[in-house]
Amino acid sequence: MPELPEVETIKNTLKQFVLNKTITDVSVYWANIIKQPDDIDYFKYLLAKQSIHDIHRRGKFLLFELDDVVLVSHLRMEGKYSVHPSGEPVKKHTHVIFIFSDGEELRYNDVRKFGTMHLYEKGDEWKNKPLNQLGPDPFSKTFTMDYFYQKLKKTDRVIKSVLLDQTVVAGLGNIYVDETLFRANIHPLKKANKLKKREAKMIWEAAINTLKDAIAQGGTTIRSYVNSQGDMGMFQQELFVYGQENEPCKICGKPIVKMKVGGRGTHVCILCQKME
DNA sequence: CCTCTAGCCTGCTAGC
DNA sequence: TGCTAGCAGGCTAGAG
């Protein structure tokens, strides 16, 4: 499932293939992917003759910057972009195709059909969902230790749920939250408002460093993630707890335990990550 | 303000 | 072996 490091990697590879290309037409095979505008024909109309000038990442979102509009795309668990020559057979899970004037196409593929696209006139993307509720990007200078600690002090929720909350910090998902809490030696069930400033700082630093390390490895491939060139990530080799159920902890040797926290599968070393 | 649940989907796995 | 039921997963909307 693409989280921040995977989306960052996808953005960088995709830019090599689609920058400065001009859309002539769009094919939509599964309309529920398109959340904005409501009318699919209007979606196509707005994109026709538009060129892709840049691609940005905000949290787990990709932002395609065109002439007059911005396409905000979330890949959820299985979304993928790839570039093909026009006329290649359309695969079973291809739901949207952006046809370029040069004989190539950008294809959106998504086994689960959970991904979303929102199209806005330039500037409006920040005033509307899904971007208007997002917290700071972990690498932004607004994601300060002070901001983070104030957020933790204000909530009675468990720390894992807070880290997954995209309005607090945008980009962490299930894998990197589990890894962050392991690196910080904090149990996922600890209440956020009970954490000492020292502990909050450990989590804040671990989150930023875990994401940086994962980007350096091209992301994490658990079962299906590849970037837009088809390359796997390599960070799975550096995972301490995620997907390591019953495996010995790389630090203390005690088997990693899997539990449910806020409805999510959660991996923890109960020796390294103390409740007290 | 908060938390919980259903819904969105389909591939995979456990159980028969 | 072949079948079905249930689960996973990020996020939203609605209920409590």
Element (H, E) at A96: strand A94-100
Residue A231 lies in a domain: yes
Determine the angle formed by the axes of helices A145-153 and A197-216, rounding to 10 degrees: 120
The residue with tokens 């065109």 is A66
Spatial distance between the Cα atoms of A227 and A242, rounded to a whole number of angstroms: 20
Residue where one domain finishes, among candidates A133, A161, A186:
A133
> A171 with A138: CB under 8 angstroms?
yes
Residues A58 and A179 in one domain: no
Residues A94 and A38 in one domain: yes
The CA–C1' separation of A274 and B5, in angstroms, is 30
Where residue A265 falls among pLDDT bands split at 50, 70, 90? confident
Beta bridge partners, A26, equal A98
Nucleotides of C under 7 A from a protein CB: 8-13
User: What's the order of all strands across the beta sheet hosting A61-65?
Assistant: A34-36, A116-121, A69-74, A61-65, A54-58
Residues A179 and A238 in one domain: yes
Spatial distance between the Cα atoms of A140 and A143, rounded to a whole number of angstroms: 6
Tell me what pLDDT residue A276 has. 74
Residues A127 and A207 in one domain: no
% residues pLDDT > 90 (chain A): 76
Spatial distance between the Cα atoms of A154 and A168, rounded to a whole number of angstroms: 11
- Tell me the torsion sign for CA atoms A266, A176, A268, A258: positive
Closest residue to C12 measured CA to C1′: A130
Closest residue to B8 measured CA to C1′: A114
Residue where one domain finishes, among candidates A88, A110, A133:
A133
User: Using one digit for the tens of pLDDT, what is the confidence trace for A64-80?
Assistant: 999 999 999 999 988 99
User: Using one digit for the tens of pLDDT, what is the confidence trace for A42-60?
Assistant: 999 999 999 999 999 999 9
- Domain with A111, as residue range(s), is 4-133
Residues shown for chain A:
276
Which of the residue ranges A64-78, A220-234, A257-271 has the most confident prediction, judged by mean pLDDT?
Answer: A64-78
Residue A274 lies in a domain: no
Residue closest to A179 by CA, chosen among A225, A212, A136, A141:
A212
CATH of the domain at A249: 1.10.8.50
Tell me what pLDDT residue A1 has. 76
The CA–C1' separation of A59 and C10, in angstroms, is 13
Tell me what pLDDT residue A116 has. 94
Residue where one domain finishes, among candidates A133, A161, A191:
A133
Nearest nucleotide (C1') to alpha carbon of A161: B3
On average, the pLDDT of chain A sits at: 92
Spatial distance between the Cα atoms of A85 and A87, rounded to a whole number of angstroms: 6
Residue A209 lies in a domain: yes
Half-sphere exposure of A69 (CA within 13 A, CB side): 21
Residue A234 clears pLDDT 90, i.e. is over it: no
The CA–C1' separation of A266 and B8, in angstroms, is 23
Residue A226 clears pLDDT 90, i.e. is over it: no
The CA–C1' separation of A161 and B2, in angstroms, is 13
The CA–C1' separation of A30 and C4, in angstroms, is 27
> Which whole-number Å values give the CA distances from A191 to A110, A179, A184, A186, A202, in the listed order?
36, 18, 15, 10, 15
Residue A273 lies in a domain: no
Residue A159 clears pLDDT 90, i.e. is over it: yes
Question: Global pTM?
Answer: 0.94
Q: Is the CB of A276 under 7 A from strand B?
A: no
CATH of the domain at A59: 3.20.190.10
Where residue A169 falls among pLDDT bands split at 50, 70, 90? very high
Residues A150 and A252 in one domain: yes
Residues of A annotated as catalytic (active site), given as ranges = 2-3, 60, 264
Q: Is the CB of A262 under 7 A from strand B?
A: yes
Where residue A121 falls among pLDDT bands split at 50, 70, 90? very high
Residues A64 and A129 in one domain: yes
**Residues touching nucleic chain C (CB < 7 Å):** A 1, 3, 59-60, 74, 76-77, 112, 114, 129-130, 133, 164, 166, 173-175, 264-265
Please state the domain count of chain A.
2
Residues A240 and A182 in one domain: yes
Residue by residue, DSSP assigns A176-190 as HHHHHHHHTTB-TTS
Q: Is the CB of A191 under 7 A from strand B?
A: no
Tokens representing A258 are 């899997």
Spatial distance between the Cα atoms of A28 and A182, rounded to a whole number of angstroms: 42
Q: Is the CB of A260 under 7 A from strand B?
A: no
Tell me what pLDDT residue A243 has. 87
> A36 with A116: CB under 8 angstroms?
no
Tell me what pLDDT residue A43 has. 95
Residues A45 and A104 in one domain: yes
Tell me what pLDDT residue A22 has. 98
Which of chain A's residues 23-42 bind strand B, using a 7 Å CB cutoff? Answer: 32
